[in-house]
Amino acid sequence: MKLYNRINGEELKKRMLESDEKRVTLSFYQYADIENPKLFRNKIYQEWSELGVFGRIYVAREGINGQISLPEENLEKFRAVVDAVPFLKGVRLNIAIDDNGKSFYKLGIKVKEKIVADGLDDAAFDVTKRGVHLSAEAFNKLTDDEKNTVIIDMRNHYESEVGHFENAVCPDVDTFRESLPIVEDMLQPHREKNIVMYCTGGIRCEKASAYFKHRGFEKVYQLDGGIIEYARQVEEKGLKNKFRGKNFVFDERMGERISEEVIAKCHQCGKPCDTHVNCANDACHILFIQCDACAEKLDSCCSTKCADFTHLPEEEQKKRRKTEVFNGTKFGKGRYKAFNKGGETVLE
């Protein structure tokens, strides 16, 4: 059996968008000792592809991290297959809240050095001594004590820009690796307080909470299951929702709505908007926030330069890609802003 996708990605994406199959999007992770990651990767690729699983899964010696979708009718079969793996038995599957089933269009399982790039020397501290897990209800109760509690968003700036918890500290960082020393410095004046961390599904906080406990912080907590599980519990139990806006997700959806509030702005005109897109010019492909009006005006591109470029013949585009510089070349994810302080659109 083939253990890699051999079909053109654009064709697979087209099939997914045209399909009316009911699919479920979910995420999961588990830290474990995997002796032979490549062998394990090949085994689950065969088993999971037979169940119609699409998604992005990372396997490393330290465990597994996955974001997937699968046919709704195969969900229980998938649970059984996962439970058959000793270290995955009973692992929580974080079911997406705002889901149209169009999150992934192919299955990709990669062997990595780590399941989350953190830049840490795991041998230097005990990664099992993590922070106290908080349910949605416990999270709400602890964070009500604003005087003695600091809420830290362990995600990247482009994630927190469209949604975050009330009163959360949101570091201006591009990567999880970059955030760890920055967050540590930010927390120094609050060492005696409750440190409550959260991320999308919980995996970044598993490592971060253990690291900060190693660094001497004692009252360390983490939101169990992250924003995804919090949203599920809030809806199921009728709890107060302290999350504002949209939860950024790393799949075709780009986000799932947790509250109706829109806290971000279109990067081109400055109007309220929290829709992330990638520039339609594949030579640029920068991630940014764009409203429908600007998308129509600029052919779903980040600038007039990119819009004009997409109208060139393909051969001319290929030739110019070697020398042309676009916003995606110059800026990181979500860093590009086309509007200035006066609200006038500035297009490069």
Catalytic residue flag (residue 170): no
Cα 132 to Cα 207: distance, rounded to the nearest angstrom: 12
Q: Output the CA–CA distances (angstroms, integers) from residue 318 to 211, 212, 224, 303, in the order listed.
A: 46, 47, 47, 19
Amino acid at residue number 96: A
- Catalytic option among 199, 205, 291, 306: 199
211-223 burial, b if ≥16 CB within 10 A, otherwise e? bbbeeebebbbbb
Cα 90 to Cα 109: distance, rounded to the nearest angstrom: 21
Within 13 Å and on the Cβ side, how many CA atoms surround 94? 23
Q: What values do phi and psi take at 272, rounded to 5?
A: -55, 125
Beta bridge partners of 196: 151, 221
Catalytic residues: 199
